[in-house]
Structure 1
Amino acid sequence: DRWLVMGAETAVFDIQDGNWRFAHDKLRDALLLDLTASEQRALHQKAAVAIETVYPHQPQFTAALAYHWQMAGDPTKEAHYTLAAGKHALESCVYKAAAQYLERAILLQQSGMDMASVEQKLGQAYHGLGSYDHAQAHFITALKHYQASEDAQGMAYCLHLLSQTAYALGAYAEAEEMGQRSLRLAQTKADTLGMARAFYSSGTTAYMVGQYKTAREHYQNSLTYAELCDSKWEMGDTLNGLGNVAYELGDYEEAERCYLACLHLSEGIGNRDGVAKAFNNLGLIAERREDYEASWDYHQRSLALKREFGQKRGISISLLNLGVLAFTQQKHDEAATLLQESLDICQEIGDTWGVACCLSNLGDVKRAQGSYDAAYIDLYEAWLTSMSIQAAPLALSVLLSMGELYHDWGDVDRALKLAMFVVEQEVVDDYGRSRARKILDDAEKNVPTDVETAVHAWVRKQSLATIETVFKNHG
């Protein structure tokens, strides 16, 4: 070790994290420049062999091994470790790196490589990044590979992933169709994990269109099958889904229990995506309890994780929730900035639900700022967008915001009609009903009883398809 000591004393080497390294990159680069191409390849091969010997089968070293074998000029070993590095990055939710490694693995395409699995994982990486068109294309390619080899389990998994992609784009009918196809395939092969995933897909679709009881049944089935095969990843996702249903039904204690269970499972297996989701949803619980400091902290922790692994849709959701929280605390300028940033991301990745939700909340902010015409424009666009994907809970939330706008505008008739309609709908949660009650309570003071009775009779004949007549021809 004498030469190491001499190198350290002359500031050539230093120690970082218990390992020797060059004190400056330029020193290392200068030495490498003096080597011939053949010498460099030989050194990279020695480095790769040393890592394989000292750290065998340790995924955190696969990226270094892929690099050294590439520089050593061994495409077979490079392909092996590049694929392994892609898998490790995907499991760690480092989606950009995963996509890069898996694209390289496909380019190398060594004989014996499971191309269906590689294409599937590459689709998952792009899905995590919010590049849904790319994700969909790779899932379809993977599905074709699985179909060619008559791999029913692989086909079921790809259909589940296609369902999740359709859901992210707001194509709920397509998502449900893919989920049902996945379930049928999984059932034919008694594929327990496949059934857990398929029921989760169907639960998510039912949840988004306001069919909460159906969603809960699907999620419960998913959890049962996930527990049978001890798949903690799927268990965490499903617990998160059950928490979402409980939250919408106003059972915040049950929702919190599910979110905390999801957090515990996700932390235990290193599922950072699950941790980020749990933080986000625990932030929503804290907001409902008016613990705004805790809510802000949860959302910031969730956002930090999502930014770290580049999950655009997750980032947009956190920004949206932070914007809503800022609005709740009457920080209107800050809310507008956060919501606009979220909207920009949703528009970029094609998240239709996210676009509608951001526009609705921006409408609320503009109403609070007294910009009623601008608020109407945002809310009407939010209404059209939510109806285009048949997201009934979101559409009703937009109607409620529109009712509040008309209330502030002094148009009691329209405000009353919209508030009454919202209260009549089963999928509206207690929070939404309390907002509507404020409009109705005020109307009782200013509207004759016979007029209120007539409005109520008219409202009971309406549906989501016809209620638009109240505000379509505004002004």
Structure 2
Amino acid sequence: NDVRTRALVSGAVVLRGQAIGDGSAPYAPWRHAIHWLALLSNVTPRMAAVLKPIVPDIDALVGEPVGLAPEIDPRGAQIRLFSAVSDLLKQRSSPVVMILEDLHWADDESLALLSWLSRLVPDLPVLLVGSFRDDEAPDLPSHLPEMSVLSLSRLSYDAIVRLSAQMLGPAGSKPEVTRYLARETEGNVFFLVELVRSLAEEAGQLDRITSMALPAHHIAGGVRRVVARRIARVPGRYQPLLKLAAIFGRTLDLALLQQAEPQADLEAWLAAAEYAAVLDVDDGQWRFSHDKLRDYLLQSLTEAERRDLHRRAALAIEQVYPDSPEHIAALAHHWKQAGDRAQEARYVAQAGQQALASGAYQKALALLERALALETLLDGVTAARLRLALGETCYGLGEYDRAQRLLMEATDRFEAQRDAKGIAHSLRLLGNIALALGSYDDARDWLRRGLAIAREAEDQLEAGRLLRALGLVAQTVGDYAEARRCFEESLSILTDTGDQTGMAGALSNLASIAHVDGQFEEARRLYEQALSHFEAVGFTWGVAYTLTSLGETEEALGNLTRARELHQQALTLCREIGHRWGAALALHNLGRACLALEIYGEAHQALAEAFAIAREIQTTPLALAILTTYANLLATAGADVEAGALLVFVMHHPQVEQDTLQTARKFATALQQRLSPPAWQAATERGKSLRLETVEALLFVDQAADAPPN
């Protein structure tokens, strides 16, 4: 509150949010703060659609109906949301202080948004402040490396003197008062404030404390005793409602309380609880004045009381907020605590799918795994969709083996339910995973099977997406004619269905085929179309990938300076969204452009960083492509044998992609003609002895100094 007051006095806008523990919706700590930020900002229609999942009343804020943002993959949706919040903050010209409390209860995705914003605020008039209990989340600072930690340990004697003077005035600095406070509280801030409050009640008012006879011992029994004494000040007839309020959370929703307890006199209850300093009004909302008070009430409940109160809470939410997406996670929590497994299963499955749609993978995983444990209480279709959602979550988290198992189980269950759409969706994800793992025959089989089912069911949207995935498989194995056919048919279908994200992807894929065929002007036209679609739906990764791909086309057209600029733009976006594979790709392309521009130092630096990232994230095909370009840099430096060895290593690697193989062969042929037969033989033998684990140390370090000067 002191930080908030100082900020307001200085003219800053203060926004607050609070994590609420179990049963919270995705991004719960941010919802209140972003609501007010949106109210104070110029929100575009596209931005409003992106924010709607966490600002449900955005329609009222902007004064017009707001639809949902175009569908993109969950990770892309999360990045799009983060970018929208960033854009709101970038509009502010005056200072903004954002205070987020109780972050020890925050979900991983809320912390990810905080980490994202913390990287941007050095360039903005924004101060981010968070509070957390280090005993409940000791590793929290490791998730927020850009933020500084200020530990609020027990107060020193000097700090007690200053705080006492602030609370009691000049007389609060008297040695007999400060020594008493130090002795009784040992610097515990909660104890100190509670002791002063209690003494003020005995003295009649705050400024009389320093003139009263101070008791020998005022606090005994620790925190629990102090809290119990505060709770006991609320009259007995109001205690049951106090317990019910604690069940809902620290912040009170008066509509829910009235629904759960229709006969309650809320005004009288609020007045009594406020007088006892158990409740207070903060930023226009009633809440428990300290979370220790709510904790005490929850811990004092019997098992029967706890179950009954959670049941009443769930019923109240269903009545006051029917079919509200914002309250699904809370309903899952309350029904679980009430012991109603059937109702819990219903809501926890919905909450997991909701979390997945918002890109909250970790939260989705926890909720969907709980739903899986209760699947015997679900109908067949819901159980199949549960496995599909959990499989997609594991795919998004890179847990490919488990994702494959779950998706195959989902396929079997959808087949039993004769759900063609579910089957086709599951098969598409299985095909995508097989493609990512380099199992191209399996990928083609899954996707063709899914396409046949989607066409039979006349599911045009799924058919368009499956065709695009088949095109990617064909392109990866070098069947460019088949890839073009798939991409063109996919584009036609997705255009008819209005899938703007899919259209952008298909256009980008067709552009890449045009580039391979040497149709560079056509490739540029298609990439620029794709770029406009990706920008329209707010798919930042799509924008970044298209920028660096367009840069490759500009290289082929001889526009090297423009290519370098495009790769740098793509790299900036990839770093901003934390897309490491994309960053490695953009760095590789940047290194190649710099090599062509004879900016050798920058080329070496970009390629070295690209290779390091590719190795860290274990993307061997990309690492091999980077090594092929680095071989060119080595040859430019006169290290022909080393360059030849590297090319031989790449050409013989089992995970080399067709495009990389063709490039390596072309360069190797030219290099072989330049070298003597013994020198090429030496390069061949050395290349066959190399391993990916040793290449970096052997070439990047040893040969760095051999590049021509920048």
TM-score of the alignment, normalized to the shorter chain, above 0.5: yes
2:390 matched to which residue of 1?
159
SS at match of 1:460: helix
CA distances 1:93-124 after superposition (whole Å, capped 9, x unpaired): 99669x99xx9943366989967446524632
1:123 matched to which residue of 2?
356
Counterpart-to-counterpart distance in 1, 2:511 and 2:502: 14
2:404 matched to which residue of 1?
179
Counterpart-to-counterpart distance in 2, 1:188 and 1:333: 54
SS at match of 2:664: helix
Give yes or no for the alignment of 1:440 onto 2:668. Answer: yes
The structure having more radius of gyration, on CA atoms, is: 2
**1:469 shift after superposition:** 4.6
SS at match of 2:391: helix
User: 8 Å contact 1:186–1:194 — kept in the other structure?
Assistant: yes
CA distances 1:357-399 after superposition (whole Å, capped 9, x unpaired): 1111111112112222321221122112112222222111111
**Structure 2 CA distance for partners of 1:241 and 1:463, relative to 1, 3 Å:** farther
Counterpart-to-counterpart distance in 1, 2:566 and 2:613: 20
User: 8 Å contact 2:356–2:393 — kept in the other structure?
Assistant: no
Look up the equivalent residue of 1:310 and give its one-letter code. Answer: G
User: 8 Å contact 1:357–1:394 — kept in the other structure?
Assistant: yes
Instruction: Choose from 577, 580, 600 the match for 1:352.
Output: 580
Counterpart-to-counterpart distance in 1, 2:591 and 2:668: 21
Give yes or no for the alignment of 1:395 onto 2:623. Answer: yes
> Matches of residues 132-143 of structure 1 in structure 2 within 5 Å?
135-140=360-365, 143=368
SS at match of 1:370: coil
User: 8 Å contact 1:323–1:338 — kept in the other structure?
Assistant: yes
Structure 2 residue runs of 5 or longer lacking an equivalent are: 1-51, 86-109, 111-320, 332-342, 704-710
Counterpart-to-counterpart distance in 2, 1:197 and 1:427: 28
Counterpart-to-counterpart distance in 1, 2:394 and 2:576: 20
**1:441 shift after superposition:** 2.6
Give yes or no for the alignment of 1:276 onto 2:504. Answer: yes
User: 8 Å contact 1:209–1:393 — kept in the other structure?
Assistant: no
**Range moving further from structure 2, 145-154 or 329-338:** 145-154
Counterpart-to-counterpart distance in 2, 1:462 and 1:284: 32
**Structure 2 CA distance for partners of 1:271 and 1:370, relative to 1, 3 Å:** same
User: 8 Å contact 2:348–2:371 — kept in the other structure?
Assistant: no
Counterpart-to-counterpart distance in 1, 2:674 and 2:420: 60
User: 8 Å contact 1:404–1:415 — kept in the other structure?
Assistant: yes
Counterpart-to-counterpart distance in 2, 1:211 and 1:472: 31
Counterpart-to-counterpart distance in 2, 1:248 and 1:285: 11
CA distances 1:316-355 after superposition (whole Å, capped 9, x unpaired): 1111111111122222221122112211222222222111
Amino-acid identity (%): 25
Look up the equivalent residue of 1:395 and give its one-letter code. Answer: A
- Using structure 1 for the length normalisation, give the TM-score: 0.71
Give yes or no for the alignment of 1:259 onto 2:490. Answer: no
User: 8 Å contact 1:407–1:439 — kept in the other structure?
Assistant: no
SS at match of 2:466: helix
- Using structure 2 for the length normalisation, give the TM-score: 0.49
- Note the aligned Cα RMSD (angstroms): 3.5
Instruction: Choose from 291, 298, 307 the match for 2:519.
Output: 291
Counterpart-to-counterpart distance in 1, 2:661 and 2:384: 44
Instruction: Choose from 385, 392, 399 the match for 2:613.
Output: 385
Look up the equivalent residue of 1:107 and give its one-letter code. Answer: E
**Structure 2 CA distance for partners of 1:295 and 1:69, relative to 1, 3 Å:** closer
**Structure 2 CA distance for partners of 1:236 and 1:116, relative to 1, 3 Å:** same
User: 8 Å contact 1:176–1:202 — kept in the other structure?
Assistant: no
Give yes or no for the alignment of 1:462 onto 2:462. Answer: no
- Report how many residues are paired: 384
**Range moving further from structure 2, 458-467 or 271-280:** 458-467
**1:402 shift after superposition:** 0.8
2:470 matched to which residue of 1?
242
User: 8 Å contact 1:155–1:182 — kept in the other structure?
Assistant: no
CA distances 1:251-296 after superposition (whole Å, capped 9, x unpaired): 2110011001111221222211111111110111111122222111
Counterpart-to-counterpart distance in 1, 2:70 and 2:480: 32
1:415 matched to which residue of 2?
643
Counterpart-to-counterpart distance in 1, 2:420 and 2:542: 28
CA distances 1:109-161 after superposition (whole Å, capped 9, x unpaired): 6989967446524632x44xxxxxxx314533652574345442232221233
User: 8 Å contact 1:240–1:278 — kept in the other structure?
Assistant: yes
Counterpart-to-counterpart distance in 2, 1:69 and 1:243: 40
**Structure 2 CA distance for partners of 1:417 and 1:303, relative to 1, 3 Å:** same
Counterpart-to-counterpart distance in 2, 1:398 and 1:473: 15
> Matches of residues 368-379 of structure 1 in structure 2 within 5 Å?
368-379=596-607
Instruction: Choose from 570, 574, 588 the match for 1:342.
Output: 570
Give yes or no for the alignment of 1:107 onto 2:326. Answer: yes
1:26 matched to which residue of 2?
none
User: 8 Å contact 1:159–1:179 — kept in the other structure?
Assistant: no
**1:193 shift after superposition:** 3.8
User: 8 Å contact 2:447–2:466 — kept in the other structure?
Assistant: yes
User: 8 Å contact 1:106–1:115 — kept in the other structure?
Assistant: no
Counterpart-to-counterpart distance in 1, 2:627 and 2:458: 43
User: 8 Å contact 1:414–1:470 — kept in the other structure?
Assistant: no
Structure 1 residue runs of 5 or longer lacking an equivalent are: 1-61, 72-80, 128-134
